[in-house]
């Protein structure tokens, strides 16, 4: 069986505005493979939680959607060798940063929890962002090799 995987190693996993994400994507292949490219991405998802009250009682709805993606190509179409490492640096884009209200909710404490509860009753809901680094070796007509790593970004 053909084994293929990618691994992400970061210098650190917690960031603030203006930081650069530095790390390495390592390929672990049992043999060479032709691929369309290798990419590292910063993926931001937003989870919205809404509380509602009706005659039947309280209800909660939750939705998750991708709100931002920044793809950084590390290499293009070629035959990838068995084991290779690709270092990268990515400045955190301004669009990926949390809003001040989202940043307050993630800090916790009585104030953060209170703001989160109040926001969940608004029509817009309580929104929290999560951040991931995602590496992908795009293999045509095959299953891509991917890896995701959670990170934290504070505004």
Residue 131: predicted pLDDT: 95
Nearest to 126 by CA among 49, 46, 59: 49
CATH of 4-154, one of 3.40.50.720, 3.40.50.300, 2.60.40.640, 1.25.40.10: 2.60.40.640
Provide the mean pLDDT of the chain: 82
Handedness of CA 154, 137, 84, 4 (dihedral sign): positive
Q: pTM, whole model, 2 decimals?
A: 0.75
Residue 49: predicted pLDDT: 79
Cβ neighbours of residue 74 closer than 8 Å, sequence gap 6 or more = 25, 37, 38, 39, 40, 86, 88
Nearest to 37 by CA among 83, 86, 108: 86
């Amino acid at each position: 069986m053909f084994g293929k995987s990618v691994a992400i190693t970061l210098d650190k996993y917690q960031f603030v505005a203006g930081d650069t994400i530095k790390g390495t994507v390592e390929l672990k292949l049992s043999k060479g493979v032709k691929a369309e490219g290798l990419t590292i991405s910063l993926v931001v998802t937003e989870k919205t939680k809404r509380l509602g009250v009706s005659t039947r009682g309280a209800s909660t709805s939750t939705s998750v959607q991708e709100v931002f993606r920044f793809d950084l190509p590390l290499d293009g179409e070629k035959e990838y060798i068995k084991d290779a490492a690709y270092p990268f640096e990515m400045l955190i884009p301004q669009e990926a940063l949390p809003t001040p209200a989202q940043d307050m909710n993630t800090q916790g404490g009585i104030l953060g929890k209170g703001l989160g509860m109040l926001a969940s009753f608004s029509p817009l809901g309580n929104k929290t962002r999560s951040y991931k680094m995602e590496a992908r070796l795009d293999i045509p007509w095959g299953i891509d090799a991917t890896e995701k790593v959670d990170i934290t970004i504070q505004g």
